[in-house]
A = this chain, B = another copy of it.
């Protein structure tokens, strides 16, 4: 008896906005002082231009990029790549929370339910802060250099 076992792993559909944001900003870092069109960025990320424009809209709100409409328009970095930290990018496109707290408040009549929220909230702050600190060690410039060298 011969059995063929196929294991299909459905990869989570968590949002890849941070990955896309770093990708797009790296493209812009390679075209300083030039307006880059969303259509072109979409070609590299392999997605729709509107998805890119929505992402750029978030990055513009965080003052990481500047966009211009019209002919010759497009998007460029708002400042030098070595002045943009990965933590800035992370904050621009995510809620910045590694894990979520209770969606609904626990039962306040239970000793554990009454106190766990504050404990978890402090833990959340500590974890999120450590991620922020780690990401702040990298700049867009450093990432761009890693990409250019084709290594890590």
Q: What residues of chain B lie closer than 8 Å to A95, measured between beta carbons? A: 12, 14
> Interface residue count for A (Cβ, 8 Å)?
70
Q: What residues of chain B lie closer than 8 Å to A106, measured between beta carbons? A: 23, 44-46
Q: Is the CB of A107 within 8 A of B14?
A: no
Q: Is the CB of A135 within 8 A of B127?
A: yes
Assuming A9-B10, A138-B123, is B116 touching A22 (CB within 8 A)?
A: yes
* Residues 1-46 of A at the B interface (beta carbon under 8 Å): 1-16, 18-20, 22-23, 26-27, 30, 43-46
27 contacts between A and B (CB under 8 A): A4-B6, A6-B7, A8-B9, A9-B10, A9-B11, A10-B10, A11-B12, A11-B103, A12-B12, A13-B103, A14-B98, A15-B99, A15-B100, A16-B99, A18-B99, A18-B100, A19-B101, A19-B116, A26-B112, A43-B110, A44-B112, A45-B107, A45-B113, A98-B131, A115-B146, A115-B148, A123-B143
